[in-house]
A and B are shown apart, each in its own frame.
Chain A
Amino acid sequence: MLVFILKRLVNAIFVMLAVAFLAFAIFQVAGDPVEMLANEQMSQADRDALRDRMGLNDPMPVQFLRFVGNAAQGDFGMSYRNNQDVIGLIAERFPATMELVLVATLISLVVGIPLGILTAIGRGRWYAEGLQFLSIIGVSLPSFVVGIMLILVFSVILGWSPSFGRGEVIDFGWWSTGLLTPSGREALVLPAISLSLYQITLIMRLVRAEMLEVLRTDFIKFARARGIPRRRIWFRHALRNCLMPVVTMTAMNVGVLIAFALITETVFQWPGMGMLFIQAVTFLDFPVMAAYLVIISFIFVVLNTAVDISYAIIDPRLRSAR
């Protein structure tokens, strides 16, 4: 067991090092950072001094190790655009993205699981087949299209919800939340729905497939034979056996949602990490791009490793398999 956990951890560290290398490579494509930072008045001597201070004269491997060392301590340097600490910029935007992602995850569970059950137990009926058909559309629609259509209907035509921004926020230390003010909650509705739509269809399809499988098993037939009411079988017996994969997928997809949030954030002008990243891409602000890449991948890798390890704890067969 310990060996398995160690293996997974070593693997995770290896992947993170590779990601760090990619992030480091961004700077090599980017061109000379001194030119990016220097202003017109700087003399050649000043530039050389800056170059030396930034360690750009050191050999490449030394520079890479320094980058990894700094990144591990949360130091990604200064933004080229406004000379602020990159990690500070990201930390400031982090709560907005996380709130959006967590609310979207919650919506996808609350809506996706019942729809999945419905399509499984009503298989062959018109509403179940209709929902199954709609789910293909849900998977296909790009999230910016969903966002634009929601804005068109609910903001432009009906005028019900705000179409951009986060509303009023309340600060708790370094965390800011929009959940406690009416305008914050209103502003969250459309982006959260738009982000969750894809996830809803995924969960619905997963629950449907799992339910259909479980409903075929002997213990369900036996429960029927014992005269247990259908409803009780569906919700007490069958559903419980479907939830494990749903929990896994939800946990793993939090990382995907954080990445996809950048599209939703762009459409709704939501002041999260994703919008910061897109602005960085537009303005060629490489330190911010590199930091975002490393942080997102870190969240991704941590979630995947945690899921792998928790599986091995629950199911001993997996330990020897890898």
Chain B
Amino acid sequence: MSQQQNQLSSMTPVPSDEPTASPQDTGKRGKWRDGEIYQSFRRRPATIGAAILLLFLIATAFLSPLFVPQNPYDAAQLDLLNAEIPPIWQADGQWPFILGTDTQGRDVLSAILYGSRVSIVIGVAAVLLSLIVGITFGLLAGYYGGIIDTLLMRLGDVLLSIPTILVAILVSSLARQALPASLRDVGAAGVLVLAIVLSSWVQYARTVRAQASVEREKEYVLAARVLHVPNRRIMLGHILPNTLTPIFVAATLNFGMAILTEATLSFLGIGMPPGQPSLGTLIRLGNDYLFSGSWWIVVFPVMQLSFLVVTVNMIGDWLRDALNPKLR
């Protein structure tokens, strides 16, 4: 790789249209194809494979209503006569149940694709919300310092002294408890998002705070202050863009974590209800049939979940290396 590429890349850490407050980069930002990010992406065939697979998984999950044989959430479309049909390549397999059916006659492929959609939507919602909460708290704490800083960071300390999975379990079970019984199934996804957000915002807040308290002392912020730029604009327009790189990596890796946490909670029986199964719920339901020989009920959801999380984490892992200036 040439010197020029190195130089370029160190100034454009994220290939995005985000305004960057760094003063040197105007006019020097090349096309992103020449950048380090794209180059290092091309050098890692495994990451390319992971990205393609992930896109495929997301696309099939969201387009699934167009081609799957049944809507697994609609009890009227399930037929008990179709229960426990093995996958199509086995002797008793039946069209159109390519991956077989579960004990209620639910098509496993349809359930998996709908389940992935639930998992992905909850994961994205949880990451976005954690980002908003974490960035807001982190900016406030880092920019203003003082009592806000102490309070928020102490709260974070306490949350970090409890294992995250425990926070998620407690929030999820208590929030469900607080909901009236009729809303519990409808609100299940919201409760899960809340549980994941509460157990993961601290990480973003700490990252942003550390960066913000450094940036605060720099001259461009001082200059903005002298010009009477409002505090809110200094925080959002000047400081925030300079904290985005580590946040971007953390968000990708946390997307994988969020899907995992959702699946774990659903597996433990305090997540999505059996009526609207996510991948975790499907695995929990299928786990009971592991010994009865109906392995397909559990193995395919397990594979789908593993592919989803592994591909997300591979991309996150690559991003971390690609954006880490120390490793270049």
Contacts and interface: CB of A to CB of B under 8 A. Distances in A.
A304 B163 CA distance: 12
A15 B165 CA distance: 18
Contacts of B310: 136-137, 140-141
B37 interface: no
B174 A293 contact: no
B313 A145 contact: no
A291 B135 CA distance: 33
A300 B157 CA distance: 12
Contacts of A267: 287
A263 B283 CA distance: 13
B54 to A, nearest CB: 12
Contact of B177 (A136, A163, A266, A284): A284
Interface stretch (A55-63, A171-179, A253-261): A253-261
A300 B268 contact: no
The size class of the interface chain A forms with chain B is 35 or more
Interface stretch (B92-100, B140-148, B241-249, B256-264): B256-264
B173 interface: yes
B239 interface: no
B223 to A, nearest CB: 32
> Secondary structure of the B side of the interface?
helix
Interface in B155-214: 157-158, 161-163, 165-166, 169-170, 173-174, 177-178
B251 interface: no
B299 interface: yes
Given A136-B310, A144-B267, A263-B165, A156 B305 contact: no
Interface stretch (A77-85, A119-127, A147-155, A221-229): A147-155
Nearest to A14: B154
B185 to A, nearest CB: 16
A31 B290 CA distance: 38
Given A145-B306, A259-B163, A26 B174 contact: yes
B90 to A, nearest CB: 16
Contacts of A11: 157
Given A29-B177, A141-B306, A142-B264, A18 B170 contact: no
Nearest to B284: A144
Given A29-B177, A141-B310, A152-B299, A281 B169 contact: yes
Interface in A16-32: 18-19, 22, 26, 29-31
A139 interface: yes
A78 to B, nearest CB: 20
Contacts of A144: 263-264, 267, 283
A15 B158 contact: yes
B269 A282 contact: yes
Contacts of A133: 46
Contacts of A5: none
B287 A148 contact: yes
Contact of B268 (A22, A145, A278, A296): A278
A141 B310 CA distance: 7
A289 B287 CA distance: 25
Contacts of A296: 162-163, 166
A290 to B, nearest CB: 10
Contacts of A19: 158, 161-162
B270 interface: yes
> Closest 8 CB pairs between A and B?
A259-B163, A18-B158, A140-B313, A140-B310, A140-B309, A281-B173, A29-B174, A15-B161
6 contacts: A140-B310, A140-B314, A141-B309, A142-B309, A148-B298, A152-B295
Given A152-B290, A255-B163, A259-B166, 10 more contacts: A15-B161, A30-B177, A139-B313, A140-B256, A140-B310, A148-B287, A148-B298, A148-B302, A289-B170, A301-B161
